[in-house]
């Protein structure tokens, strides 16, 4: 068996920043500390913080007044910020700057009276947060069918934005249809689908044709990890999205396959290495490192935590 270990894979700059923020907040304030939604969409990460006294909540009113609260990497709506302020919470914002960029674009287009199509997945934390910036101006578009159903004239003043973790190919299909229907549609100068999502997808697109099986490390609710699994399957590779070696079935393998291994932007390298060891032990697998692009992105911690570090 051969393992093709794809790179870039795993933690992106936004996830690193969010996890470091929670680490530092925990060290500085101690428990109890609260996080609004999962800090990142990964079971291993969330469970390890739960074991250290972090409480994850789905509603702001679950947090006792005057407590310390982190907003996760996926961002929150202004309404959630107001609810936190009303409870006098010490809110630390660990939103990824690339998500904040999309929020700012939404605010800008809404101020200019555009109808904004947000290409994304209903119910995802990031989509809820972004739509909350301009709820009256925004329309969620999940696929090409949704574009066809839009009841607006071709000359309507419209713009589109996207969730940061979409399939690049799916998003391009939806954007092409939007452009057919609204030839003057506006869009931000720089892509909203982030560098980490694009790089991980490019690596799978390039390497999947060499593999028989693809293992994607990531949790089921991780959008960018799901897109990696779908992309591998489109290249006619059997692909599984797994949280760690406990999810692997020996029945998936004959023992002589080439296994492409990658990880979504919220999956830690620890679980990748555990899976590599699992395959080495059972199938004597060798590892080939395949890096398609260097990544060198780093985001600073939220200002309030940087200030604490200085003191």
Determine the interface stretch with ligand SF4 among 1-9, 192-200, 203-211, 251-259 (rule: CB under 6 A). Answer: 192-200
Quote the least distance from Cβ 101 to ligand SF4, whole Å: 9
Which residue, chain included where needed, has tokens 């589109």?
Answer: 160
- Cβ(226)–Cβ(241) below 8 Å: yes
Q: Determine if 224 is a binding residue for ligand SF4 (CB under 6 A).
A: yes
Quote the least distance from Cβ 106 to ligand SF4, whole Å: 15
In the region spanning residues 75 to 94, those forming contacts with ligand SF4, defined by CB under 6 A, are none
Residue 71, class by beta-carbon neighbours within 10 Å (0-12 exposed, 13-18 middle, 19+ buried)?
buried
* 60: phi then psi, degrees, rounded to nearest 5: -65, -35
Give the number of other CB atoms < 10 A from CB of residue 281. 10
In the region spanning residues 123 to 182, those forming contacts with ligand SF4, defined by CB under 6 A, are 164-165
Our CB check for ligand SF4 shows the closer of 75 and 245 to be 75
Give the number of other CB atoms < 10 A from CB of residue 23. 14
Instruction: Kindly tell me which residue out of 6, 33, 84, 98 binds ligand SF4, with binding defined by CB under 6 A.
Output: 98
Determine the interface stretch with ligand SF4 among 95-103, 246-254, 283-291, 300-308 (rule: CB under 6 A). Answer: 95-103
Active site residues: 126
Q: Determine if 96 is a binding residue for ligand SF4 (CB under 6 A).
A: yes
Measure the CA–CA gap between 272 and 268, rounded to whole angstroms: 7
- Cβ(137)–Cβ(116) below 8 Å: yes
Applying CB under 6 A, the site for ligand SF4 has a residue count of 15
Quote the least distance from Cβ 64 to ligand SF4, whole Å: 28
Determine the interface stretch with ligand SF4 among 10-18, 51-59, 78-86, 131-139 (rule: CB under 6 A). Answer: 10-18
Our CB check for ligand SF4 shows the closer of 3 and 119 to be 119
Radius of gyration of the chain (CA): 21
Our CB check for ligand SF4 shows the closer of 11 and 182 to be 11
Position closest to ligand SF4 via CB = 14
- In a 3-state reduction of DSSP, which class is residue 302? coil
Instruction: Kindly tell me which residue out of 197, 199, 201, 219 binds ligand SF4, with binding defined by CB under 6 A.
Output: 197
Instruction: Kindly tell me which residue out of 15, 35, 174, 232 binds ligand SF4, with binding defined by CB under 6 A.
Output: 15
Contacts 24+ apart (CB under 8 A), 254-258: 255/1, 255/283, 256/1, 257/1, 257/2, 257/211, 257/212, 257/213, 258/1, 258/2, 258/3, 258/4, 258/210, 258/211, 258/212, 258/213
Measure the CA–CA gap between 30 and 63, rounded to whole angstroms: 15
Our CB check for ligand SF4 shows the closer of 271 and 279 to be 271
Measure the CA–CA gap between 228 and 208, rounded to whole angstroms: 10
Quote the least distance from Cβ 72 to ligand SF4, whole Å: 9
- In the complex, which residues of this chain contact ligand SF4 (CB under 6 A)? 12-15, 73, 96, 98-99, 164-165, 194, 196-197, 224, 265
């Amino acid at each position: 068996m051969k393992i093709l270990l794809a790179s870039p894979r795993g933690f992106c700059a936004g996830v690193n920043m969010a996890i470091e923020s929670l680490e530092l907040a925990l060290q500085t304030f101690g428990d109890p500390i609260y996080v609004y939604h999962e800090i990142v969409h990964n079971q291993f990460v969330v469970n390890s913080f739960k074991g250290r006294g972090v409480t994850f909540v789905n509603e702001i009113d679950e947090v006792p007044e005057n407590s310390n609260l982190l907003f996760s990497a996926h961002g929150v709506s202004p309404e959630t910020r107001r609810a936190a302020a009303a409870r006098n919470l010490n809110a630390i914002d660990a939103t990824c700057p690339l998500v904040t960029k999309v929020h700012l674009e939404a605010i800008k287009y809404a101020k200019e009276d555009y109808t904004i199509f947000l290409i994304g997945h209903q119910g995802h934390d990031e989509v809820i947060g972004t739509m909350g910036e301009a709820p009256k101006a925004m329309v969620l578009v999940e696929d090409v069918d949704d574009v066809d159903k839009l009841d607006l004239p071709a000359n309507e003043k419209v713009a589109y934005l996207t969730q940061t973790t979409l399939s690049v190919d799916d998003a391009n299909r939806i954007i092409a249809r939007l452009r057919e229907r609204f030839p003057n549609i506006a869009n931000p100068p720089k892509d909203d689908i982030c560098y980490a999502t694009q790089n991980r997808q490019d690596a799978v697109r390039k390497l999947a044709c060499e593999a028989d099986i693809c293992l994607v490390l990531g949790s089921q609710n991780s959008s960018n990890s799901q897109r990696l699994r779908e992309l591998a399957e489109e290249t006619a590779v059997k692909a599984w999205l797994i949280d760690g070696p406990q999810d692997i079935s020996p029945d998936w393998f004959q023992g002589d396959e080439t296994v492409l291994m990658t990880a979504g932007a919220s999956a830690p390298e620890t679980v990748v290495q555990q899976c590599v060891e699992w395959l080495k032990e059972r199938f004597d697998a060798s590892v080939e490192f395949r890096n398609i692009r260097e990544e060198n992105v780093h985001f600073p911690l939220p200002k309030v935590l940087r200030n604490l570090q200085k003191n």
